[in-house]
Amino acid sequence: MDRPRFFYGWVVVILGFLSISMFGVINSYSTFVAPLEGYLNTSRTSISAAYAIELSFYSIFSLMMGWIVDRYGSRLALWGAAVLLGGGVALCSTITSVWQLYLFFGVIAGIGHSAIFVVPSTTVSKWFIRRRGLALGLTVCGLGFGLFLVPPLSARIISAYGWRTSFLVLGSMAFLVLAVVGALMKKPDDMGMQALGAGEEAKLAAPPTIREYRLPEILKSRAFWVVYLTSVFCYGAEQMLVVHLVPYCASLGIGPAEAAFGLSCLGIGTICGRIGMGWISDRIGRIPALMISIALQTATTFVLLLITDVSILYPIMLLVGFGYGGWAVLAIVILGDFFGVRNLGKATGIYFTNGVLGSLVGPLLAGWIFDVTRSYFWAIIFAGVTCAIPFVLAFTVRKQSPGTAKQAAATS
C-alpha cells in the first residue's frame, strides 16, 4: 500500500501564521504614541492620524493584493510586503517631522501591510475544505502571537535604546520574516495537490457552498455585508485599543511596560478566540459563533471603564481579545464557505477595505475625543455601542447555512 503523501497545506498554515504575526509590528504603535507626541510636539489626534492613514492604505491596497494572489499566487505579493512594510517601518527611525511619519508609516508601510493577511488567509482557504475553520483559526492566530510578542519587545527597546532603534528593529524583523514566507508559500495547484477534503463536502457538519460565486453575486449578498460591517465597527473598536491602550493606562497610573503587556494579553485572547471559535463554528455553525464573539467583545469593551490596575486590565484584555479573535477568523471562513474560493482573493480584498472606515470610528476618533475632553471615557462608550451594531445585523442571516449561499444572495 502506498503511503499517503505529505500534506503541504499544514506547512502553509505555519507560513501564514508567521506572515500574519507581522501585524505585531503595526500593532506596536501604541508604544510610540507618547514618545512621538513629545518629540514632534504635536497633538494626540495628529499622532493617531498616522495610524488611520496606515489602516486606510492597508485597506485600499488589500483589493490589489487579493487580485494578485488570485492571478499570480502568493510570492510576488509577500515579497512586495517585505520591502514596503519592513522598509517603511525602518524609515520611521529617521523622521524629524509629522509628514514623514505619515509617508513612511502611513503610506509605505500601509501598502506593504495590505498583503500579510489577505494573501495567507486566501491561500490557506484554497488548501482546506475539511477542517477549514481550524486551519484558518490556527493561521490567523499569528495576529495574536504578534500582539503578544512585539509590543512588549518594542516597549523594552524604547526604554533601553529609544524609539528610533525600535522602529529599525521592527522593520528589519518584518522584512526577514516576509521574505522567507514569500519564498515558501504555495497553492495546491502549484504542487499538483488537492485541497484537504476535496470530494467530501456533503459529509461535513458545516458544508461549504457547492458552487463558485462570481464577484457581483458575492457583493449582492446580505451575508457579505454583515461580516463587512462587523469588521468596520468591531475592528475599529479593537484598533482604538491597539493605538490608545498605553496612553489610556498612563492616565490611570499604569506604566508603559505594564500597559504593553495588556496588549500581549489581547494577543493571547485573540489566539484563543481564533482557535476556539474556529473549532466551535465547525460544530454549531458560522453565524451563531459569530454572534457569540461579537457579544463578548461588546460587553468587555464597556468593562474597560472599570480598570483601576493590572489585576483588572489583564483579564479584561484577554476577554476582549477572545471576542475579537473569534469574529475575525469567522468572517474569513464565512466568505470561503458561503461563496467558494475561486474569487476569494478578490472578495477578501474588498472585505478589507473596511479598515478605512474602521480607522475613522476607532483610533482617529478616539484621539480627537481625547484632545477635546482630555479623557478616553466617551471614546470607550462609543466603541462599545458601535460593537453592538453588527450583533443586531447578524440576526438577519442567523438561519442561513453555508449551503444556502445562493438564497442569501437572492434575498438581499
pLDDT at 285: 81
Cα separations in angstroms, 381 against 311, 321, 384: 22, 18, 5
- Could you tell me which of 128, 132, 130 has the C-alpha nearest to residue 187? 128
Dist CA 112 CA 82 (whole Å): 7
pLDDT score of 83 more than 90: yes
Contact call for residues 231 and 222 (beta carbons, < 8 A):
no
pLDDT score of 202 more than 50: no
Least confident of 96-105, 108-117, 275-284, 294-303: 275-284
Over pLDDT 90: what percentage of the chain?
A: 34
Backbone angles phi, psi at 128, to 5 degrees: -130, 130
**Which long-range contacts (C-beta less than 8 Å, at least 24 apart) are formed by 157-164?**
158/31, 158/32, 158/35, 158/256, 159/256, 159/257, 162/35, 163/32, 163/35, 163/36, 163/39, 164/93, 164/94
* Domains along the sequence of the chain with CATH: 10-188+202-410 (1.20.1250.20)
SS3 128: strand
pLDDT score of 253 more than 60: yes
- State mean pLDDT over 297-319: 92
- Tens of pLDDT, residues 118-151: 888 888 878 887 777 778 778 878 887 888 889 8
Length of the chain: 412
User: Which of 186-190, 197-201, 403-407 is modeled with the greatest confidence?
Assistant: 186-190
pLDDT at 408: 41
Cα–chain center distance at 261: 19
Cβ neighbours of residue 291 closer than 8 Å, sequence gap 6 or more: 391, 394, 395, 398
- Tens of pLDDT, residues 208-234: 555 677 778 888 888 888 888 888 888
pLDDT score of 403 more than 50: no
- State mean pLDDT over 54-62: 85
Contact call for residues 18 and 78 (beta carbons, < 8 A):
no
- State mean pLDDT over 177-203: 75
